[in-house]
Amino acid sequence: MDVISVIRTKRDRGRLSDEQIDWVIDAYTKGQVADEQMSALAMAILLNGMDRAEIARWTAAMIASGERMDFSSLPRPTADKHSTGGVGDKITLPLAPLVAACGAAVPQLSGRGLGHTGGTLDKLESIPGWRALLSNDEMMGVLRDVGAVICAAGDGLAPADKKLYALRDVTGTVEAIPLIASSIMSKKIAEGTGSLVLDVKVGSGAFMKNREDAAELARTMVGLGTDHGVKTVALLTDMSTPLGLTAGNALEVRESVEVLAGGGPADVVELTLALAREMLDAAGLKDADPAKALRDGSAMDHWRRMISAQGGDPDATLPVAREQHVVTASASGVLTGLDAYAVGVAAWRLGAGRARKEDPVQAGAGIEMHAKPGDSVTAGQPLLTLHTDTPERFDYALQALEGGVTISPSGTEFKPQPIVLERIA
């Protein structure tokens, strides 16, 4: 095998053989294929695609590059969730303890934010003492004691994906559906969960901007999960508007705790419950009632135990940014547009996200939203509060918000997009 022939095959719209796929993933993981060569192959895949058999083999090769976890010794069925990323998407935080409170084990391996999309681990690290890095034994211990764990994937889990993901991010190939699907599913299958629910975002704040591409990605991932014996279902959900009323790290933790306490924004509660019901159904726990677990405090109890088990203090005061700037409504009327991408980029520029994987984030940075599409507003009313430790970032963030807020005349009819657009199984 040689990498040039593999690149040429896909460049010329050919089908990669099983042997070519196995070889190139193994050689890249070992450093025998250079980054610039894998970049060329990734671009060829973006432009020319892969068939289902190619994607399945690519995923299997990624899984084979590392270890596989096994949760069969747990006394509970396992269920996991993965989101393709959005703005204000704090759903994992209340969802994992909620599903655990209903009887499933949730081994949630999460990631960090990059670009305009937030990262679950960055959010949780705003809690004093909380640790993202756990050994496999520690992870199993938390699952046995609490029923839910949210942590970083270990270096031994699909190392080929870890290397390729970083490369895709800096070569304009993140959006390649075969590579997105294999990246997500190689980690989730290697993780060893018995069932998986996928939250595939659609809209301006998502990687998939239109419903057709999102549905194709969802079908591809559901097929991969099914082929590897993992019961998999996907929900297509709206990401044209940010979820909830916050985008940031500590800001989103605060809002997640409100949901666990029985309150919180209606859209966050609705999506959390929809995903919880899918996870419990996939795990064979159809009679469990996640809404009851929110009401009776058991979900909150599991949250507190989960945070404590990973070294965090659930009662600690969360970080607050040193500086704030209020954006007011330019006119009276109906707020008919709050673009998720604009809000996400603004939060990123305020310090809530990172441009490179190694960049630090500000725990208190982000955006509070005081109105959502459909609300009536008056001129001068606060619409957004920007938070950062570095006020020189405000102008740059405000540039990102230009054109992202739409106020229509009073009386304008507004029909909100449903949160869950489609179910694919």
pLDDT at 402 over 90: yes
3-class secondary structure per residue, 230-275: CEEEEEEEECCCCCCCEEECHHHHHHHHHHHCCCCCHHHHHHHHHH
Domains and CATH numbers, the chain: 3-49 (1.20.970.10), 80-154+173-309 (3.40.1030.10), 323-408 (3.90.1170.30)
Q: Which residues contact 107 (CB under 8 A, 6 or more apart)?
A: 69, 71, 78, 80, 139, 143, 149, 191, 192, 193
The token pair at 171 is 């070569």
Q: 3-state class of 1 per DSSP?
A: coil
pLDDT at 356 over 90: no
Going by the DSSP 8-state scheme, the letter that residue 103 receives in this structure is T
Element (H, E) at 142: helix 136-145
120-177, pLDDT tens digit by residue? 999 999 999 999 999 999 999 999 999 999 999 888 889 999 899 888 878 888 889 9
**First-to-last C-alpha distance (Å) of the chain:** 38
- The reported pLDDT for the residue numbered 199 is 98
Q: How many CA atoms lie within 13 A of 81 on its CB side?
A: 36
- Active-site residue among 80, 161, 267, 339? 161
**The model's pTM:** 0.93
**333-338: strand order across its sheet:** 376-377, 333-338, 405-408
Residues 97, 302: Cα–Cα separation, whole Å: 5
- The reported pLDDT for the residue numbered 169 is 75
Q: Is 82 a catalytic residue?
A: yes
Burial 308-324 (b: 16+ CB within 10 A, else e): bbbebebeeeebebebe
Partners of 198 in beta bridges: 82, 234
Among 27-31, 89-93, 96-100, 107-111, name the one with the lowest average pLDDT.
107-111
Q: How confident is the model at residue 113 (pLDDT cuts 50, 70, 90)?
A: confident
Element (H, E) at 348: none
- Active-site residue among 10, 57, 81, 82? 82
Q: How many CA atoms lie within 13 A of 260 on its CB side?
A: 26
Total count of residues recorded for the chain: 425
- The reported pLDDT for the residue numbered 166 is 81
Q: How confident is the model at residue 260 (pLDDT cuts 50, 70, 90)?
A: very high
Q: Is 187 a catalytic residue?
A: yes
287-342, pLDDT tens digit by residue? 999 999 999 999 999 999 999 999 999 999 999 999 999 999 999 999 999 999 99
CA-to-CA dists, residue 333 to 326, 402, 408, 414, angstroms: 19, 18, 5, 12
Q: How confident is the model at residue 344 (pLDDT cuts 50, 70, 90)?
A: very high
| Mean of the per-residue pLDDT values of the chain | 95
- The reported pLDDT for the residue numbered 117 is 85
- Active-site residue among 39, 65, 183, 195? 183
Residues 320, 363: Cα–Cα separation, whole Å: 8
Which residue type, as a one-letter code, is found at position 78?
Answer: T
Q: Is 144 a catalytic residue?
A: no
Judge whether 339 and 203 are in contact, CB under 8 Å: no
**What is the CB neighbour count within 10 angstroms for residue 296?**
13
* Calculated CA dihedral for residues 373, 378, 383, 385, nearest 10 degrees: -170
- Active-site residue among 81, 187, 188, 387? 187
- Active-site residue among 168, 188, 201, 393? 168
Q: Is 387 a catalytic residue?
A: no
36-94, pLDDT tens digit by residue? 999 999 999 999 999 999 999 999 999 999 999 999 999 999 999 999 999 999 999 99
Q: Is 168 a catalytic residue?
A: yes
